[in-house]
Amino acid sequence: MSENTYEDYPLPIFCLTALKALLNYLLGAMIFYIIGGVLLGIAYLVISLLSLLLSMRFRCAYCYYYGKRCSSGLGLLSRFLFKKRDGADFGNPRNVIPVAIASFSILLLPLIAAVIFLLLDFSLALLLLSLTYFVIAFILEFSFRKNLVCRYCKQGEMGCPAYKGMKGKDVS
């Protein structure tokens, strides 16, 4: 295992990634609020929370960082909600696929909805909000993952599909 991994992620990295995640959810909720009102915005936040719970159950419970401060902080939180699972199953498709589908859906839903509604009834506010969301949710996310998160992740070196993609190599 590399000497350049974190046992616990430094607080500044956790704060940056947590702030970025919070912005993702709030901007996504604002997009749905503009499109369909308060209830649609709240619905997006609820399904985002469900996605986080799914992540903690099927990813965090198997992760090296379970009970520790990972980049997202979910490793610490998951120990209060779910029991520790066998880390050898971290990369098991039955755990990865449902979480990946839920996570990517939550990430893409605001953009898909915004594009549809921009085509039906253009709104400058919705366009600007959507562009901001895209920059934070995709460009900033990829940069954070590549440069702050996966680069220093012990679980990545032990086996993680995201780590393989960020490092551009097979870690089998």
Sign of the C-alpha dihedral, residues 96, 102, 104, 107?
negative
Alpha-carbon gap, residue 15 to 145, rounded angstroms: 14
Task: Judge whether 52 and 144 are in contact, CB under 8 Å.
Answer: no
For the chain, the structural domain boundaries read 11-167
Distances (CA, A) of 106 to 21, 40, 43, 51, 124: 12, 13, 11, 8, 23
Which pTM was predicted?
0.87
pLDDT (0 to 100) of residue 155: 92
The CA-based diameter of the chain, rounded to the nearest angstrom, is 53
Give pLDDT tens digits for 35-89: 999 999 999 999 999 999 999 999 999 999 999 999 999 999 999 999 999 999 9
pLDDT (0 to 100) of residue 86: 94
Is the per-residue pLDDT at 142 higher than 50? yes
Percent share of the chain, pLDDT over 70: 93
What average pLDDT does this structure show over 144-168? 81
Alpha-carbon gap, residue 65 to 70, rounded angstroms: 6
